[in-house]
Amino acid sequence: MAPVTSRSHLSVLRGFLALAAAVLCFSGDAAEARVLLTLDDFGAVGDGVANDTQAFLDAWTAACGSEEQAVLAVPAAKAYRIWPLQLTGPCKKKLKLLIAGTIVAPSSPDEWAGRDWMKWLYIYGVDNLSVSGGGTIDGAGQEWWARSCKRKKTQPCNTVAPPRVVHFEECRGVSVQGLTLQNGQHFHLSFTRCTDVKANFLRVVAPADSPNTDGIHLNDTSRVEIMDNLISVGDDCVSMVGNCSDIRVRDISCGPGHGISIGSLGKNRTTDRVENVRVDTCLLTNTTNGVRIKSWQGGMGFAHDLRFENIVMKNVSNPIIIDQYYCDQPTPCANQTEAVEVRKVEFVDVRGTSATAQAIDIACSDTVPCRELELKNVNLTLEGGGAASASCYKAFGKAVGTVVPASCLARHDS
């Protein structure tokens, strides 16, 4: 009797045969040899119904372990339903994940029972990974949103953070370009403790009322380029927390959403450090905030050397906001004296219309005031016509050029 072979073992066998064939096809020049693998080589069905998780994992294992540079393709015109998946490194060579088709999550949160609720497509410890291809990653987050306590006001409701759509951790030299990420259960694209990151030419979309569906989120990550993206979500288009530095955000269309945010910082008395951030040439439309710095009372650390430049606002609530009293919880936050220091922040060539009477709102700590702020060539008026206002508390700096509404910054500490 022939031995019984599991589907997984058959997939691996098919994969190694495909790997051998691909090496032969691409090894004409040993210096530039490439391996091309597809999910279908490993038994994936791609009908949007079958569980293709094991095929994806087997394909990743073969590609990551290849002695030649590998291209792992998700074929076009097919949908691969993938359950929570962890893709780990290090890989032997540079790896390209070419997503031309669609990767879709299970629709029910119940499928995460016994699993880590914060992870769906989780990539750990992989260097020099390129993800591209023009395809779609769909978090199918509708049921997660319906169960969230932020939307569902009666018990039972879900207070646990849902999974992130694509989450990179401890990775270096990562590039994510030319994809659509949609309907995230939580953050669409996030990076934790990563360096040398590019997230460009992306389309990130979810309904305006989908809770906590940030577009691109950074945590403890440095040397980042976020450029040429269209982001329309239910939370921050771009956000950064923890210890982030050397961040460039440029050519972004944001809205609806909660704007572009540094923070929240200092939650639960943590020490966060954010510095050398440049946000320029961005269009924000119908967002609940514009460009924002937010921190909790009691936090420590700093937000230094930040520049927001060439920003156009269209019907944006709170276009410019610094809030050292941020409190996102159902009960009031206790007054505390420690605060994340905000210093050397520039708002340059910011113009457009405000949906709120107050276009500039800067509320800083009594004990750790905001210093070295600059408003330069700012022109914000009310949507529909009329003058907007500005409010400052414990905010020190200067106005340069024409500033509308008139600057409220104090020139010296008093």
Active site residues: 235, 258
The two three-digit tokens of residue 234, written as one number: 């239910």
Amino acid identity for residue 148 in this structure: S
CA distance 191 to 218: 5
Q: Is 134 helix (H, G, I), strand (E, B) or coil?
A: coil
CA 100 to chain centre: 21
Q: Are 143 and 133 in contact (CB under 8 A)?
A: no
Give the C-alpha separation, 393 to 397, whole Å. 12
H/E stretch holding 10: helix 7-26
> CB–CB of 338/298 below 8 Å?
yes
Strand ranges (DSSP E) for 100-221? 102-104, 119-124, 129-132, 136-138, 164-169, 172-177, 180-182, 189-192, 195-200, 203-205, 216-219
320-323 β-sheet, strand order: 85-88, 119-124, 164-169, 189-192, 216-219, 238-241, 260-265, 291-295, 320-323, 358-363, 389-393
